[in-house]
Amino acid sequence: MKDVETRPRRYSRVIILTILLASLPLIVGFSLLVISSFSTEMVTNLNPSSFHLTLENWISVFHGKLATTGGIRAPILRITLNTLIVALGVAGVVTAVSALAGYSLSRVNFRGRKHMMILLLVLHAFPGVALIVGVYLLYRLTFPQSMDIVRLYSFMYVIFARAALEIPMSVWLMKGFFDTIPWEFEWSGIIDGASRITVWRKIMLPLIKPGILAVALFAFLAGWQDIIYVRTFLIDQTLATFIEANIEAEFSHMPMIAAAGTLYLLPTIIFFITAQQLLLQGYSGGIKG
Amino acid sequence: MNVKREKLTTLSFFLSPMAVMVVLFYLVPLIMTVYISFTRMRNWNVSKYLTEFVGFYNYHRLLYMFQHDPTFKAVLLTTVVFVGITLIINVFGGLALALATFFIEDKPASAFRLLWLLPRMSPIAVYSLVWYYFFHGSEIGTLNSILMKLGVISQPIPWGQIVPWGAWSIIIFVNGLVGVSFGMIVFTSALNQIPKELVIAARVDGASSWQISRRILIPMIRWHLLYVLTWQFLSLLTTYPHLFLLVQWDLVNGDYGTTLALYVFNTAFGMGEQDQGLAAAAAVLLSVIGIIGGFVTLKVLKFERMMKRPRGDF
Amino acid sequence: MVRIILDSITKKFDDFIALRNISLKIEDKEFMALLGPSGSGKSTLLYTIAGIYKPTGGRIYFGDRDITDIPPKDRNVGLVFQNWALYPHMKVFDNIAFPLELRKVPRQEITVKVREVARMLHIEDLLDRYPWQLSGGQQQRVAIARALVKEPDVLLLDEPLSNLDALLRIEVRAELKRLQKELGITAIYVTHDQAEALAMADRIAVIREGKILQVGTPDDVYYRPKYRFVGGFLGNPPMNFVDAEVDAENGYLNVYGSRIPVPAQYRELVEKLGIKEVLLGFRPHDAEVLREKREGLAGEVYSFEPLGREQIVTVSVDGAFVKVFAPEGEHFSFGEKVTVELREDRIVLFDKKTEKALEFLV
């Protein structure tokens, strides 16, 4: 039982109404964006007559023929692909690194363990903007001479640099997940003669699948969302830099930008619908119980 | 001897990827940023300025700007106002949402929590786009349309250009919506850990939801309140991506829509004259505040309690 | 001070029916025990009376008032939880004072009332401490104090003694009973411990799987159980049950080859009902183990357990085991042939099919 069943219904209704009211700007703002993508004119002025239903914007988007300022064709699908590459890259790197580090912090007693954990917390709190200047300098100093690998390099750099920002929190999260596994699983593996590495690979990782999924999910979203790092390091465009660059377009093309924005929002919405529990849990996962 | 060796190899296997990344993307850049603050680097002209050491030149400039430059003063003021007000909104808003969803049925509660996660989870460009249209200064701006329809104003108003409170309100609002979800999640998790009998006992004793919140629930999540307060403080001090586009797109006035963190970024990477030396100096300043804040946080939260020793000796 | 009427109460949780059509009257100032095994629904019933659960069907009355839809705070009930549910961040004084503070009672009056109830429960010295600084027994008193301080019409207790150690339990039992009588509060007490119910209650309602099987005084349910289950649930060691065939013409019961007369109280009934097979129930202390051949159940000693001033002898009656109390002095040997002589007026006969005592079949 969570609360008494004899409470008058209306108390709950009042609360729900209040939250709804407070959520109104949020709901209105996002809805108008999505709706505008299906209209020839932006409907953000709440004028019903501005709404002319059309699929033009979306068709253009999917044909990769977005007519932006100056009539330049922008390859939306390519841009979306770039965003995907960055997101997947970040997810992969973060998951791998934190699965490794999180395990040892949870299970191996070594000197400096505590200090390392404190360090991670401090890093997590560290101003990202202070680092980016140095990160960029490193980028410039290590920039390849050969033009062939320049684009590849920028992709790799963006992925690793962005992933690095997520590492402290993810290692904490992973450590938390490892902490929940009973010690018996590990001890039986060690008694059977497995090395720590084998225990990690064959016993712990499979047991931790939901944790890995959660960390990968959040890392993916971080990479997908990012604008600062991609605009600073990536030579190609992602959806973020595309939207940034095209905000000055004439009003007639704004619905197409809205469509691009809605497209950009899609994975977020998908995760909302399919991974609700995971999201709500994951966000509270790293917090002291 | 062998055991120790093995332990060392094992540890390096697990920790080296993280160690490499921390060194490459935290320690080295940190040193570089500090170093750059002692040079006169501009426009990323690395070869020209990298080896020229100019001591505290940039720091003196910062001090001078603090005293005389209206733009810089505006930025500092904005930072103080922004962090202060948004912090209150984030903590109390998060608390309010957590408490409100605690007392309603599970289905609407989950739905609302997910809804309020949207700002944090949306791509920054899309999120900024939404508010760009909402607060747009022309008649396509949603806020302007609503107010004009209600007859409150007759002409569309460029809200973000009203200094300082127009710009401040927008950046506080936009960031507040993102920050509220953090507190909401932490507090919801904390509330769920309170034994349900206590709420029931309080109901039998005659308490209303408000009395239960005030007398029982809130006192029992004191640690979490402190945690959110200190964490959000640090976070607000150093955040800039959600502000970047608002200023970039000229939705808000530059001087009063920029916090110190954004100032650093724009000075280092912005359009026009880029001054990395100055930016780095400001960054170092921000970092010092951040580190002090970080350690105070740890002390206050009695960090020791959070760490458990692993069992076994291997 | 109030009488409670439950009228056809049903409670469903999704598909699970926790309470089936329960009707019960509890008199003013009465101490009523709700006795049953785990999962029987006794706590559910208690919480429904408290107003925490809303019945799916049926009504509840306090006196003339229909309180079925009214929330707990307007019912004026005091509830003591099994694990006490004390507010950990408040001192004992504040825990007890809480219900009064919520009612906006003036500060001075609160202090007087809290001290009074604390004295009644011998915890005046603990008022300044926090719950986690108290022992289990002390915490429990605080919980009772908090329930009593608002002078409720009804006191509801959910297995309050189950978290205490055995010795403390017996001590507190007597105190609670005395307290209830002194204050004259109608009390409903949920327990799975039959000894507790027998010791404390004015009347006991035996509950099983959401249904009330029998309501009666401790005497009633102990000596005149309505169902085999009631007979078996009350008493420690439990009632013995053996199969018996009725030889109505001759007035005898055949029990595993032994023959005993049909008990006087059942002679008419047995004839009227014409039942051939019954279950015979008798309690371990309503029988004697004799070495001489007498009228009773013939068997051999299977084992014996000395308990101090008496012993329990298990006798195998043609394969069926019965337990009987015997004085400590008597020495038995394994396999010894004995007769179990039953006290006639205490025998209960149950219909095998419905498991109901015969006197309740008419």
Does A1 reach chain C within 8 Å, measured CB to CB?
Answer: yes
C 43-102 near B (Cβ less than 8 A): 50-52, 71-73, 77-79, 81, 83, 85, 87-89, 98-99, 102
Q: Do the chains contact at B215 and C98, CB–CB below 8 Å?
A: yes
**Model confidence at B312: pLDDT above 50:** no
**pTM (two decimals):** 0.85
3-state secondary structure of A207: helix
* pLDDT tens profile B46-97: 777 777 888 888 888 889 888 899 999 999 999 999 999 999 999 999 999 9
Ordered by start, the domain boundaries in chain C are 4-228, 240-360
* Under 8 Å between Cβ of B259 and B243: yes
Rg (CA), chain C: 24
* pLDDT tens profile C69-98: 998 989 999 999 998 899 999 999 999 999
Nearest CB to C79; choose among B204, B215, B216: B204
DSSP H helices in A126-208: 128-141, 150-179, 183-191, 196-198, 205-207
ipTM above 0.90, yes or no: no
* pLDDT tens profile A58-92: 877 777 655 555 455 667 888 889 999 999 999 99
How far is the CA of A79 from the CAs of A86, A115, A241, A287, B57, in angstroms? 11, 42, 9, 36, 43
Contacts of B256 (CB under 8 A, 6+ apart): B74, B77, B78, B163, B164, B167, B168
What would the CATH number be for the domain defined by B23-302?
Answer: 1.10.3720.10
What would the CATH number be for the domain defined by C240-360?
Answer: 2.40.50.140
* Under 8 Å between Cβ of C54 and C69: yes
End-to-end CA separation in angstroms for chain A: 22
More confident residue, A251 or C110: C110
**Which residue has 């009347």 as its token pair?**
C203
CA distance linking residue B128 with residue A246, whole number of Å? 13
**Model confidence at C229: pLDDT above 80:** yes
* Under 8 Å between Cβ of A257 and A128: no
Does C104 reach chain B within 8 Å, measured CB to CB?
Answer: no
Q: Do the chains contact at B44 and A244, CB–CB below 8 Å?
A: no
Does B83 reach chain A within 8 Å, measured CB to CB?
Answer: no
B119-133: average pLDDT: 92
Q: What is the pLDDT of residue B309?
A: 44
Pick the residue of B106, B196, B198, B204 with the most C CBs within 10 A to test the interface with C by mutation. Answer: B204
Q: Indicate the length of chain B as a whole number.
A: 314
Domains of chain A: 9-71 (no CATH), 76-285 (1.10.3720.10)
Query: Which amino acid is present at B313?
Result: D
Q: How far is B194 from chain A (nearest CA, A)?
A: 11
Contacts of B145 (CB under 8 A, 6+ apart): A44, A45, A46, A47, B139
CA distance linking residue C330 with residue B293, whole number of Å? 82
Q: Which residues of C touch A1 (CB under 8 A)?
A: 47, 52-53
**What mean pLDDT value characterizes chain A?**
84
Asked which of A183-197, B256-270, C97-111 is least confident by mean pLDDT, the reply is: A183-197
Asked which of A226-235, B158-167, C75-84 is least confident by mean pLDDT, the reply is: B158-167
Give C4-228's CATH code, choosing from 3.30.465.10, 3.40.50.300, 3.20.20.140, 3.40.50.970.
3.40.50.300
* pLDDT tens profile C255-302: 888 889 999 999 888 888 888 899 999 999 999 999 888 888 999 999
Q: Quick one: how far is CA B146 from the chain centroid?
A: 30
**Model confidence at A252: pLDDT above 70:** no
Q: Please, which pLDDT band fits residue B147 given cuts at 50, 70 and 90? A: confident
Q: Please, which pLDDT band fits residue A207 given cuts at 50, 70 and 90? A: confident
Query: Which amino acid is present at C81?
Result: F
Percent of chain B with pLDDT over 90: 48
C193-215: average pLDDT: 95
C244-251: average pLDDT: 86
Contacts of A48 (CB under 8 A, 6+ apart): none
**Model confidence at A17: pLDDT above 80:** yes
DSSP H or E stretch at residue C231: helix C228-233
Q: What is the pLDDT of residue A197?
A: 87
Q: Do the chains contact at C146 and B205, CB–CB below 8 Å?
A: yes
CA distance linking residue B174 with residue B177, whole number of Å? 6
CA distance linking residue B231 with residue C97, whole number of Å? 36
Q: Please, which pLDDT band fits residue B302 given cuts at 50, 70 and 90? A: low
* pLDDT tens profile C56-66: 999 999 999 99
Q: Do the chains contact at C52 and A7, CB–CB below 8 Å?
A: no
**Model confidence at C235: pLDDT above 80:** yes
Q: What is the pLDDT of residue A286?
A: 44
